[in-house]
Amino acid sequence: MSNNNNGANMAWNDNNNQTPPELDEVIKDFKNKFNSTFGGKSSGNSGASKAAKGSLKYIIILALIVWFATGIYIVDPAERGVVLRFGAFQNSTTQGPHWHIPYPVEAVYKVNVEQIRAAEIGFRNVQNSYSGGVSSESLMLTKDENMVDVKLAVQYKIADAQSYLFNVYNPELTLSHVVQSVIRQVVGDNTMDYVLTTGREQVAQEVKVASQALLNDYNTGLMITAVTMQDAQPPIQVKASFDDVVKAREDEQRYINEAKAYANDIVPKARGASQRLLAEAEAYMSEVVSKSEGEAYRFNQILTEYTKAPEVTRERLYRETLEEVFSSTNKVIVDSSSNSMMYLPIDQLINSSRTSKSTSSSSSFQQTLSGNSNDQSVLRSRENR
């Protein structure tokens, strides 16, 4: 029984010490290929060794070709290529196909230098929707010690790819900090009223110029293209009072505009009326002077005739006056020897006397009588002399 067990154990141990024939053949074949490739002795035939050596050579050549092909790259028109050799800057490339020594010797970074990028100061846009203010960035102190809430939108692009990649750790964050510092300085140099009303564009322009100067000093490679003041208003706590002030200022401006419009309308009319009155006065003056000169000349002529024949001249003046008076009045002639009663249309006479024609006639009659009486008194005085 025990002998059988010992025999079985010996048989098992013998089987464990043996190597499977397939594994031996694999190891032997690998040794032959290795020796044939690197010049060692092969236990196989020489033809198989030469074939294996040629296949490995082609594989190495193909791998080298693929490795060199990975160094080909294309730069788009809006991009700049930056080539690094062992991590150090080597050169920059423009648009078109290029080649560099493949990894791990050289690496290429492409930077878009035409894309317009945006930075928000005092607010954030989420999916093109306004998300509200960031008080730590937007609240600022003005020159007159008032608080304002300012929100800026900055547009910029990469001007120098090398400086953008290597001179500053985070150029976008640097830009944000620079603009925040500059806007606080500019707002602090101006009053609240100026920042919120008339000085918006000027403040944005000053921020752009000063921020670009600082970015150039830091050599960030960024160029600011535009700065826009999205919003500027007082804090929410005092917004109602400020709105009242703004409304009062708008009312003031409206009243000023209305007054200017009224002045532009009434002043030309007044000037026209004054010119018309002056023209009428000058015409009246010319008329009076001419009439006075004519009457003076006529009086001198009458005086000459009166000195020659006073009675005749006096009678002629009397008759001329009666003729002038009776020519513009209604006349009724009654025979004194007639005994018949005549009816006088008194109502018609009264109505006709109230007309403008009668008024002007009576006025001229009075002026004529006055003139004639004056002429006669002067003639009598000179005759007495």
Looking up residue 121, the CATH number of its domain turns out to be 3.30.479.30
Pair 106, 41 in one domain = no
Q: Tell me the pLDDT of the chain averaged across its residues.
A: 77
Contact 163, 215 (CB under 8 A): no
CA distances, 110 to each of 80, 94, 113, 219, 307 (Å): 6, 10, 9, 19, 126
- Over residues 308-337, the pLDDT tens digits come to 888 888 888 888 888 888 787 777 676 777
Q: Is the domain of 167 the same as that of 225?
A: yes
pLDDT of residue 71: 80
Overall number of domains in the chain: 5
Residue 276 sits in the same domain as residue 317: no
Is residue 215 located within the same domain as residue 155?
yes
pLDDT at 24: 62
Residue range 28-32: mean pLDDT, rounded: 63
Q: Are 259 and 277 members of one domain? A: yes
Local confidence band at 210 (pLDDT 50, 70, 90 cut-offs): very high
End residue of a domain, out of 307, 327, 350: 307
pLDDT band at 369 (very low <50, low <70, confident <90, very high): very low
Structural contact between residues 148 and 142, judged by C-beta atoms closer than 8 angstroms: yes
Q: Last residue of a domain, which of 257, 282, 307?
A: 307
Instruction: Kindly state whether residues 353 and 262 are assigned to the same domain.
Output: no
- Does one domain contain both 209 and 171? yes
Listed residues 53, 83, 112: the one ending a domain: 112
- Using DSSP's 3-state secondary structure scheme, residue 122 falls into coil
126 and 232 both lie in a single domain = yes
Instruction: Encode pLDDT of 60-106 as tens digits.
Output: 888 888 888 888 888 888 888 888 888 788 888 878 888 887 888 87
In this prediction the pTM is: 0.50
Do residue 138 and residue 215 come from a single domain?
A: yes
The continuous run of DSSP H or E covering 110 comes out as strand 106-112
Same structural domain, 300 and 357: no
Inform me whether the pLDDT recorded for 347 exceeds 70: no
Q: Is 187 in the same domain as 294? A: no
Parallel/antiparallel/unpaired status of strands 117-121 and 123-126: unpaired
More confident residue, 133 or 327: 327
Label residue 12 by pLDDT band (50, 70, 90).
very low
Among the listed ranges 49-58, 97-106, 140-149, 270-279, which one has the minimum average pLDDT value? 49-58
Residue 346 class from Cβ within 10 Å (0-12 exposed, 13-18 middle, 19+ buried)? exposed
Q: Is the pLDDT of residue 233 over 70?
A: yes
pLDDT bin (cut points 50, 70, 90) of residue 27 is low
Q: For position 295, what pLDDT does the model report? A: 87
Percent of the chain scoring above 90 in pLDDT: 25
The pLDDT-based confidence of 17 (bands split at 50, 70, 90) is: very low
**pLDDT on residue 192:** 86
Res. 39: pLDDT tops 90: no
- Is the pLDDT reported for residue 240 higher than 60? yes
The answer on pLDDT for 380 being more than 80 is: no
Question: What are the CA-CA distances from residue 44 to residues 19, 28, 40 (Å)?
Answer: 21, 9, 12
Domain that holds residue 294: 238-307
pLDDT at 206 over 90: yes
